[in-house]
Amino acid sequence: MKITSKFILKDRLNSDNTQTIIFRVIFNRSILRHFTDIRILEDFWDKTNSRVKPGHIDFSNFNLQLDLIQNNFNTFITDCKFKHTPITEIAIKSFLNNSTAKNDKNDFLKFIKNDMDNTGKNVLKNTTYKNQISQLKMLKDYCDKIYFEDINTDFLYKYEAFLKSKFKPGTVNQKITFLRNYINKAIDQNLCKEYIFRKYKLQRVISKPKFLSTDEFDILLKYYNTDISKFNKKVLHAFLFSCYSGLRFSDIKNLKFENIRDNRIYIIVQKTNRILTIPLNNHLIELMPENTGNKYLFKLGTNGNVNRILKHIGEDSKVNRILTFHIARHTFATISLNIGIPLVCLQSLLGHNQISSTQIYAKVIDKTLEKEMEKWNNSTPPPLADAV
């Protein structure tokens, strides 16, 4: 018994001059063909490796589909041998027909989309839902058809490599975490049999928080009092309020006058859904907008639009830094530690569930102290006085 398999191009051209990729199996002397849905121009076909050339815009996606077909066929042959099941021409034809006739119940991407439409819209916050739509689109860009039986550690590592070619480690982790969450949901519904993350570990990424130096903060404060456009001033006003309070953009945007009473801010944090209490300091009192009947303290647009304006403010003020509300929050945290606010108190002010999240800022302060102490290396200290 002799079995060989490879991918070839169909001889006849399609109406658009492309050729369909065929999975050809030679069993003894019989030739069995399975027509894939992939159609390409002959110039993009690598005959030596039987794969789509990197020059094609979808080569990674197409080659992944070809790999899955080949792997599934290899697994089928191995299972037959292991179970002593006769390998016949009929059995191979049946496998090729059934392996491609996968219904919606086996479609992992449709499972995700259905869950998001039926559950996500009602449970998730709007920003989180939009983020998940973006995550799903990335999966589809990688491979437009993913079935539950295709998800294994090899798939994970290939997807990780695909993401690393496009994004920074933190973003890669975010997208892999999204994938893991839906694999867990599929397991709960008995759609996935194996928890593949037992054999795969997410890389731990600890990003160093970016914050304004004292000089940069002073530059922005002076710039705020110059003759700038009304809209730019409104955005910078909210940014400085975040620097003095540590509030995220989502909470600054939703902050209402009714949330402020008894010289405190009382707000339900959008990200964690927890109640946060922040006592007002003198700077926040000075920056408090006048209540002219508006519901919200700051009338802001989307985070993306606001960040574009902040980028312009950073350039115009000569801060030479891309400003975001993340930087404002990090600035509040580092300044708070520098002026002596205890770590446990800062944890409460920032609304962190775990002290480990707050300790990142303590490490930044330690690094700053080390850098300052290095100044001694280039100085000549005065001679020591004789001991009395």
> Whats the size of the chain, residue-wise?
388
Please tell me the predicted confidence (pLDDT) of residue 101.
47
- Between CA 319 and CA 313 the distance in angstroms is 8
Cβ-based neighbours of 339, under 8 Å, separated by 6 or more: none
Please tell me the predicted confidence (pLDDT) of residue 373.
60
- Assess whether pLDDT exceeds 90 at residue 310: yes
Closest CA to 97 of 83, 82, 76: 76
- Assess whether pLDDT exceeds 80 at residue 343: yes
Topology at the third CATH level for domain 214-374: hpI Integrase; Chain A (1.10.443)
Backbone phi and psi for residue 209, each to the nearest 5 degrees, phi listed first: -65, 140
- Assess whether pLDDT exceeds 90 at residue 28: no
- Assess whether pLDDT exceeds 50 at residue 387: no
- Assess whether pLDDT exceeds 80 at residue 50: yes
The pair of three-digit structure tokens given for residue 301, joined into one six-digit string? 């647009």
For 311-322, how does the pLDDT look when each residue is reduced to its tens digit (9 = 90+)?
999 999 999 888
Please tell me the predicted confidence (pLDDT) of residue 204.
66
On the question of a common fold for 106-198 and 214-374, the answer reads no
Please tell me the predicted confidence (pLDDT) of residue 386.
54
- Assess whether pLDDT exceeds 60 at residue 94: yes
Say how many CA atoms lie within 13 Å of 385 toward its Cβ. Answer: 2
Domain boundaries, the chain: 3-101, 106-198, 214-374
- Between CA 370 and CA 41 the distance in angstroms is 60
Tokens 């080659």 correspond to: 63
Please tell me the predicted confidence (pLDDT) of residue 304.
85
Please tell me the predicted confidence (pLDDT) of residue 317.
92
List Cβ<8 Å contacts ≥24 apart for 324-329: 325/239, 325/242, 325/248, 325/249, 325/252, 326/209, 326/210, 327/210, 327/211, 327/212, 328/239, 328/240, 328/242, 328/243, 329/242, 329/246, 329/247, 329/248
275-279 and 264-268 strand pairing: antiparallel
Q: If you average pLDDT over every residue of the chain, what do you get?
A: 84
Taking only Cα atoms into account, the Rg of the chain, rounded to an integer number of angstroms, comes to: 30
- Assess whether pLDDT exceeds 50 at residue 305: yes
- Assess whether pLDDT exceeds 90 at residue 280: yes
For 140-150, how does the pLDDT look when each residue is reduced to its tens digit (9 = 90+)?
888 777 878 77
- Assess whether pLDDT exceeds 50 at residue 4: yes
Please tell me the predicted confidence (pLDDT) of residue 271.
81
Percentage of residues in the chain with pLDDT exceeding 70? 89
Please tell me the predicted confidence (pLDDT) of residue 352.
84
- Assess whether pLDDT exceeds 60 at residue 102: no
Please tell me the predicted confidence (pLDDT) of residue 85.
85
Q: How confident is the model at residue 120 (pLDDT cuts 50, 70, 90)?
A: low
Please tell me the predicted confidence (pLDDT) of residue 388.
41
State the average pLDDT over residues 176-202. 82
Please tell me the predicted confidence (pLDDT) of residue 372.
55
Q: How confident is the model at residue 284 (pLDDT cuts 50, 70, 90)?
A: very high
What Å distances lie between residue 184 and 148, 178, 222, 252, 274, CA to CA?
12, 10, 51, 34, 26
Residue of higher predicted confidence among 152 and 18: 18
Say how many CA atoms lie within 13 Å of 172 toward its Cβ. Answer: 20
- Assess whether pLDDT exceeds 50 at residue 256: yes
Please tell me the predicted confidence (pLDDT) of residue 44.
94
State the average pLDDT over residues 343-367. 78
State the average pLDDT over residues 343-372. 75
Closest CA to 302 of 104, 63, 130, 98: 130
Please write down the HEC assignment for all residues of the chain.
Answer: CCEEEEEEECCCCCCCCCEEEEEEEEECCEEEEEEEEEEECHHHEECCCCEECCCCCCHHHHHHHHHHHHHHHHHHHHHHHHCCCCCCHHHHHHHHHHHHCCCHHHEHHHHHHHHHHHHHHHHCCHHHHHHHHHHHHHHHHHCCCCEHHHCCHHHHHHHHHHHHCCCCHHHHHHHHHHHHHHHHHHHHCCCCCCCHHHCCCCCCCCCCCCCCCHHHHHHHHHHHCCCCCHHHHHHHHHHHHHHHHCCCHHHHHCCEHHHEECCEEEEECCCCCCEEEEECCHHHHHHCCCCCCCCECCCCCCHHHHHHHHHHHHHHCCCCCCCCHHHHHHHHHHHHHHCCCCHHHHHHHHCCCCHHHHHHHHHHHHHHHHHHHHHHHHCCCCCCCCCC
The pair of three-digit structure tokens given for residue 212, joined into one six-digit string? 């304004």
CATH number for the domain whose boundaries are 106-198 = 1.10.150.130
What Å distances lie between residue 193 and 136, 143, 152, 183, CA to CA?
22, 21, 11, 10
Percentage of residues in the chain with pLDDT exceeding 90? 29
State the average pLDDT over residues 264-272. 88
Please tell me the predicted confidence (pLDDT) of residue 339.
85
What Å distances lie between residue 191 and 104, 109, 136, 183, 195, CA to CA?
12, 13, 18, 9, 11
The pair of three-digit structure tokens given for residue 80, joined into one six-digit string? 């037959």
Q: How confident is the model at residue 385 (pLDDT cuts 50, 70, 90)?
A: low
- Assess whether pLDDT exceeds 80 at residue 48: yes
- Between CA 60 and CA 163 the distance in angstroms is 12
pTM (two decimals): 0.56
